[in-house]
Amino acid sequence: MDRRGPRVRTARPGVTAYPPALDGPTQTDGAGTVRNRLSRAEARERARLLDIHSYRVELDLSAALSQETFPSITEVRFACEGPATSFIDLRAVAVHSVVLNGMHLSPSEVCRDGRITLPELAAENVLCVVAYCAYSRDGAGMHRFVDPADGFTYLYTQFEVAEASRVFAVFDQPDLKAPFTFTVTTPPGWVVVGNAPAPAPRRLSDGSEVHAFAPTRRIPSYVVAVAAGPYSVVRDTHREADREIPLALYCRASLTPWLDAGEIFPVLRRGLGQLRDLIGHDYPFEKYDHVFVPEFNSSAMENAAAVTMRDQFLFRSRATGAALAKREMVILHELAHMWFGDLVTIRWWGDLWLNESFATYFALVCQSGADDMHGDSVRAAFAAFDKNRAYLQDELPSAHAIAADVEHIADVEGTFDSITYVKGAAVLRQLSAAVGATAFRQGIHAYLREHAWGNADVDDLLRAIEGASSHDLATWSEAWLRTAGVDMLRPEVAVDGDGTITSFTVAKTPSPRSHQIAVGLYDISSRGLLVLAERIQVAVHGDRTEVPGLRGRRRPALMVLNDGDQSYARTRMDPVSLTALTRHIGGLADPVTRALCWAMVWDMTRNGELAATAYLDLLIAGADREGELEVLGSLQHNAKVALNLYADPDTASAQRVRWADHCLDRLRRTAPGSDRQLAWFHAFAAVARSEPQVRVLHDLLDGLPVIEGMAVDHERRWAALHRLAATGHIDRAAIAAEVHRAPTASALLHAAAATAALPEAEAKADAWAAIGSSGTGNAERRALIAGFCQPEQSRLLEPYVRRYFAGLGGLWHSPDEAAQRAAAGLFPSYVLSSATLAAADEWLAQPGSEPALRRVVLEGRARVERALNAHETARSAGRTTPRPDPAGADGGRTATAVPDRQSIPVKE
């Protein structure tokens, strides 16, 4: 046996070509397990000193089937405002050699805590580093996955926020961009995808193959990518006026039958054309690849010209229109990143919104621009689900400004949230309306043109838009970009005895922001429909804004603030409007207005202003008349959350049965085989509880035709099995038998979740141990957490509240990135009690915890406190809540007087 270890194929000057095996004399200081600890001040100083000319990176992945590590060689050329000392990032398992400007540096002296100190830098420098790096199972660095369907091994990288240093030596910050040239050695027959076009491999004498890529353009390290393995590929092209852009889709071999290129390529081609026209800048790269990868931690990643995307977006079961729309949105989001993030890159992570908000905004514009009807659907879903999540995030104690203050790399993860993505996109929409769409796009074009292949910050963007529009954006940016929180808009209506409005005021709290909104006035038709009579534009300034244009008008049945969803603000209704809405919400014709109203009553429910039973009443009365499938799906999801978190615990079980019976009724009555039927099936399977309901699930699994047109395929089977497991109606043997039917990666994850959901002390103990184990992969850990955290099993889970807080520090400081993320997923909001709050307070009172970890506990505590507040509202409401008319009509009567206060379960 050759004890020298795997051969590194190309030796650089001054670098040993054969690093020793890991039991040889190498430097191992634990750097492979530490986190990147870069601060903003350090990044600024390093960027001031250094200008990176190029990287050459060689990765030998030829032993990926059998070894846990791989050799990595980096040659980086850079200038320095020297003489000075700086550092480069590398979190390797072992560093064999460091050669700076021809001088060998001792790894034992210069390598420490994921950094290599670089002393006595010259004006021009060449650094060569030879190291061993480790494959990961946590979805970061170089992730390795073995497909249980066929035993094939797949690799892919994930480097955002600062994980490239787990694969090669790199100045791992966004404002030190450079061209990257990769050479990758693999087992025979493997495909390698990178940022540059894929080369034809060169076969070596031992059978391995070398893939030598051309240099990339100047890109940041976090969008560098390598994917390698026996991936299947389908190719196409996009034709522009003066060139052709090669397109390619990649996936695991076992998922090839579900790689629906006929659906995906048209989205890509349309998106490329739309974005080029909208942005006014050509697509910046030579090709565009989309790699569907397993066990991915997020939806997708905008690696330059080589996007990685979770392969759950290749649907093994029938996909509804809502699922396809979600995938389309993610594809367009990542495509927009090719300009916003990859072509022009942020200087530091506090401006993450310049990447994510713009990608979300342009994805929405592209998706809604297909046609008017499609546009209404997209805007309705955005209002009902996405913006509502952002409102919730903006109310938490951890809320931050869109342009966040990020001091340390460890704090960046907390800004990947709905504020950065959704609130930022909504605010960009407002900015476009304020300065004019043409000036907005001209400013964006100028911004991209000036900073192409470089870096920029929020001030660069604002200067470009100010130059194109002649608007001074200083006050606007301070209010909207640099101030955290969300405003509340409430109407104050006075009506005389004849039903005439004597005054109408919009009250606003708490910020100095201004809002441009519409007030929608709706009457009830003879058919019981809420019909728009008029929209009145209102500029809301200060704490109270009077609307004289409404004085002297007949009071309509319904008055909607922010109608049309023009501004980013939470809203409420006056009591008369709320009464009309509860009786006729299904009769609102406009999908965006309807979505806004659904979002408002959900916001009231989770904030303890509306009883959860009243919210369920509204869903039972009006959800089936919701025409937008994405909105319907969000309503069904909200129902489950309301039952788990906000309903009175003493009556929640009966309410679950009631809602499940309604879902089953809709399932039976909805058109057989339709998307709506699938939506109602999943809503039913999420809450089924009574013996008759459970019997329906068993019968569907047995193939009995109990629901006409209901095809119970792979995902539908597991949805039923999850619920049966959580309610104790199947055991481990039944779960194992289902895996045996189809032993895929997806089935194994479903089985892990279902087993963890079993209402047994042993199942919970096993899941808890596996979640904390370093040998558990990221996807399995997510599945285990989803199964473990069952609010209906709170008594069984009570002992884990103390165990969570006792082990939180160890979990957070684990070298496994996925274990750290488990700290948030495991927060014991499955035990809604004052004892949970007390345990959180006790932990928070201890000094020394990192800000990012405190954020996790503060947000979890806020969720529990919110739920307990909602319980009080639910208990006080009792049976006083009026049930809406399921038909959505009340004989054409229009409510003009304030109803009895007990008739609307509103908490003042």
Q: Report whether 59 contacts 168 (CB < 8 A).
A: yes
H helix runs in 280-396, sequence order: 321-337, 352-368, 372-381, 387-395
Name the pairing type of β-strands 288-293 and 306-310.
parallel
Q: Report whether 8 contacts 18 (CB < 8 A).
A: yes
Helix (H, G, I), strand (E, B) or coil at 559: strand
DSSP-assigned states of every residue in 699-728: HHHTT--SSTT----HHHHHHHHHHHHHTT
Q: What is the largest CA-CA distance in the chain?
A: 98
Q: What's the CA gap between 377 and 389, in Å, rounded? A: 18
DSSP bridge partners of 99: 104, 128
Q: What's the CA gap between 907 and 153, in Å, rounded? A: 56
Catalytic residue among 295, 302, 328, 334: 334
Helix (H, G, I), strand (E, B) or coil at 454: coil
Q: Report whether 517 contacts 502 (CB < 8 A).
A: no
- Scan for tokens 């285990």, then name that residue: 784
SS (HEC) of 160-183? CCCCHHHCCCECCCCCCCECEEEE
Q: Report whether 712 contacts 684 (CB < 8 A).
A: no
Q: What is the DSSP letter of 762?
A: H
Run of H or E residues at 786: helix 778-788
Q: What's the CA gap between 712 and 705, in Å, rounded? A: 10
Is 546 a residue of the active site?
no
Q: What's the CA gap between 127 and 56, in Å, rounded? A: 10
Report the candidate in 315, 334, 321, 324 with the shortest Cα–Cα distance to residue 268: 334
CA dihedral angle for residue 618, residue 674, residue 363, residue 397, rounded to 10 degrees = 30
- Residues 6+ away with beta carbon under 8 Å from 501: 493, 494, 495, 550, 551, 552, 553, 554, 555
Report the candidate in 48, 241, 161, 612 with the shortest Cα–Cα distance to residue 406: 161
Q: Given strand 501-509, what is the order of strands in its sheet? A: 544-546, 501-509, 488-495, 570-571
Name the pairing type of β-strands 69-80 and 84-89.
unpaired
Angle between helices 691-701 and 714-726 (to 10 degrees): 150
Q: Report whether 34 contacts 113 (CB < 8 A).
A: yes
Please give the backbone phi and psi of residue 832, each rounded to the nearest 5 degrees, phi first: -90, 95
DSSP bridge partners of 226: 194
Report the candidate in 26, 83, 96, 75 with the shortest Cα–Cα distance to residue 50: 83
Q: What's the CA gap between 678 and 280, in Å, rounded? A: 41
Residues annotated as catalytic (active site), given as ranges? 334
